[in-house]
Amino acid sequence: MDWFNRIAHWASVAPDRAAHKSEGRVLTYEMLVHQARSLAAALSVMLPDDRSPIAIVGHKQPEMLVGFLGAALARHPYVPIDEATPPARAGRIRERAKVSTTLTTRDIASLAASHAAASWRTPDPADVCYIMFTSGSTGEPNGVMIPWSCLGSFVTWLNGEQGFTEQREVFLNQAVFSFDLSVMDLYPSLTTGGTLVSLTRDDIGDFSRLYRTLKGADLTVWVSTPSFARLCLAEPAFGARMLPRLRRFLFCGETLTPDDARQLLERFPDASVWNTYGPTEATVATTSIRITLDVLARHSVLPVGRTKPGTVIRITADGSLDPLPDGAAGEIVIAGDNVSPGYVGDAMLTRRKFQSMDGLAAYRTGDIGRVEGGLLFFHGRRDDQIKLRGHRIELGDVEAGLCAIQGVSAAVVLPVTRNGAVDALAAFVIAQSHADDPEPARLRWLRCEVQRQLPRYMHPRTMRFVDRFPMTANGKIDRRELLARL
């Protein structure tokens, strides 16, 4: 757990260095560590001999970081809840996690100011660090428990692979703290003495404000979903002149398209582009690969990389854990030291999704993929498979076919249902080709190309051109919003 103690180390050797910046507020390492220790002391008085989860509610305020570390020092798992979460859902999250105490950013500031600082102590690796909630297939949120040992495995791997320069890096924090992509920027930044720059909801909602914030951030490491980068690429000025110190793009949470990767390499010639993959249940990311021009030339669908040390990926079929041959597509199973022990308060779902494989904790992802030459390729979700007029169709296959059309940079394909059954497919496409043509002519061109790429039963009935895809608060494509446009 030396990686965790590095956070306190920076408070000693670089107390005035900014640990976090957001909306003009700056939190130094000295302030962060002192306030976290004070909060831990307050929690120990409030909740003696109690290790129940604590909900930390806010947005991108510096008190969120104080809350996370303060809870950790007091040996309480923290449950991040963004303040924009609908009250009913926030209530279900607290109920499912059996939260004992809810702290707002105002509560955290008050408690940290009212108690003397406790000692800085290393968490027990077996303790649960945080509980991150994801959307469940039943509509109920599922709380994924991540122990400190899993988080340590992830942080140690990423820091070692990327070789971040201590006290020199400035990380972009795009995702809200209740989305586990934020872990990819938060803890690598804090453990290497970096500065985390958080984009707020207001920053992302106003393009002119967004680009002003980015330009003034002095970023060196970009962490986001591919959708957010695609949104930024719509601005011609988004490039090395705007962000002259940027040296790394790290993507997770969605599919990175070849066109997006190519544009980033062209606009940021001194930066590397990394594609990663992993579900929340396996602590943020499990595989990674640097996307180069050579990788782009060899793959029409980008690989998501090779597995991290201490982790095994196996492609399986029919609910078994038996491996499929190299190149065969099946369900991705992840086993290793980054796999969660399960879902909080849901033993039945935990037994169904978490198993043991070769003596390692394993998680059945529900994702479809294949491994070729040691590289993992992601092909969508098992639940993205639909049946249309007797044909089984992977929505990811249709999207890949659309993206293979020259001039199409991105596509989202959704099922359209009628009377509870899939009746047709709808495609939303971002394309540069024939941009000046009238809409009917553009659609004729696209349908003609689709006929060359896909069998008839996979043809979308409805196709719409869009300039960009709407995004959720987590920075992913908002598919519900797209369906509402039909």
Q: Does residue 56 contact residue 67 with C-beta atoms inside 8 Å?
A: yes
Q: Which residues pair with 305 in a beta bridge?
A: 376
Would you say residue 283 lies in a domain?
no
Is 152 inside any structural domain? yes
**CA 181 – CA 372 distance, rounded (Å):** 26
The interaxial angle of helices 29-46 and 2-13, nearest 10 deg, is: 120
What is the rounded distance in angstroms from the CA atom of residue 32 to the CA atom of residue 117? 12
pLDDT at 135: 67
Structure-token pair, residue 421: 């059954």
Q: Is 397 helix (H, G, I), strand (E, B) or coil?
A: helix
C-alpha–C-alpha distance, residues 431 and 446, integer Å: 9
80 is a domain residue: yes
Which residues pair with residue 397 across a beta bridge?
none
Instruction: Copy the structure tokens of residue 182.
Output: 């934020």
Distance CA 257, CA 230 (A): 10
Q: Encode pLDDT of 379-430 as tens digits.
A: 887 777 777 776 768 788 788 889 989 999 899 999 998 766 788 999 999 9
From residue 256, give the alpha-carbon distance in Å to each of 199, 253, 468.
Answer: 21, 9, 15
| List of the chain residues with pLDDT < 70 | 1, 135-140, 390, 392, 419-420
The residue segments making up the domain with residue 112 are 2-224
Q: Among residues 287, 327, 341, 289, which one has the least CA distance to residue 311?
A: 287
CA torsion angle 72 41 61 151 (round to 10): -10
Is residue 326 within 8 Å of 306, Cβ to Cβ? no
The reply to whether 120 falls in a domain is: yes
Question: Considering 165, 193, 224, which residue would you say is the last residue of a domain?
Answer: 224
Domain count, the chain: 2
Q: What is the pLDDT of residues 361-376, one digit of tens each?
A: 999 999 999 999 999 9
What tokens were used for 455? 């069998």
What confidence score (pLDDT) does residue 253 get? 86
pLDDT at 120: 92
| Distances 21 to 2, 11, 17, 341, 447 between C-alpha atoms, Å | 25, 16, 11, 33, 48
Give dist(CA 62, CA 78) in Å, integer: 15
In a domain, 146, yes or no: yes
DSSP letter for 22, please: E
Q: What is the rounded distance in angstroms from the CA atom of residue 482 to the CA atom of residue 168?
A: 40
**b vs e for 259-287, b when ≥16 Cβ sit within 10 Å of the residue's Cβ?**
bbbebbbebbeebebbbbbbbbbbbbbbb
Beta bridge partners of 146: 130
Residues 6+ apart with CB under 8 A from 382: 331, 366, 367, 368
Q: Specify the 3-state DSSP secondary structure of 369.
A: strand
Q: What pLDDT score does 85 carry? A: 87
Say which DSSP state 467 is in. Answer: S
Please check whether residue 105 lies inside any domain of the structure. Answer: yes
pLDDT confidence of residue 134 = 85
CATH of the domain at 459: 3.30.300.30
Q: Classify residue 471 by its DSSP letter.
A: B
Return the SS3 of 380. strand
Residue with tokens 């302030």: 31
CB-based contacts of 456, cutoff 8 Å, min separation 6: none
Task: Tell me, yes or no, whether 42 lies in a domain.
Answer: yes
- Number of neighbours of residue 252 by Cβ within 10 angstroms: 25
- Whole-number pLDDT of residue 408: 92
Using an 8 Å Cβ cutoff, are 102 and 55 in contact?
yes
CATH at residue 46: 3.40.50.12780
- SS3 at position 196: strand
pLDDT attached to residue 139: 53
Q: DSSP letter string over 347-364? A: HHHHHHHEEEETTEEEEE
Q: Is-contact 126 78, C-beta < 8 A?
A: no
Residue 466 lies in a domain: yes
Domain boundary among 224, 250, 282: 224
pLDDT computed for residue 392 by the predictor: 63
Between strands 330-336 and 360-372, the pairing is antiparallel
Torsion angles phi and psi, residue 184, rounded to 5: -70, -25
Q: What is the CB-side half-sphere exposure of residue 5 using CA atoms within 13 A?
A: 7
What's the confidence (pLDDT) of residue 50? 84
Which candidate, 364, 316, 309, places its Cα nearest to that of 337?
Answer: 309
- Domain end: 199, 224, 249, which one? 224
Rounded to whole angstroms, how far apart are CA atoms 288 and 391?
34
Angle in degrees, CA 260, 262, 267, rounded to 5: 95
Specify the pairing of strand 248-251 against strand 272-277: parallel
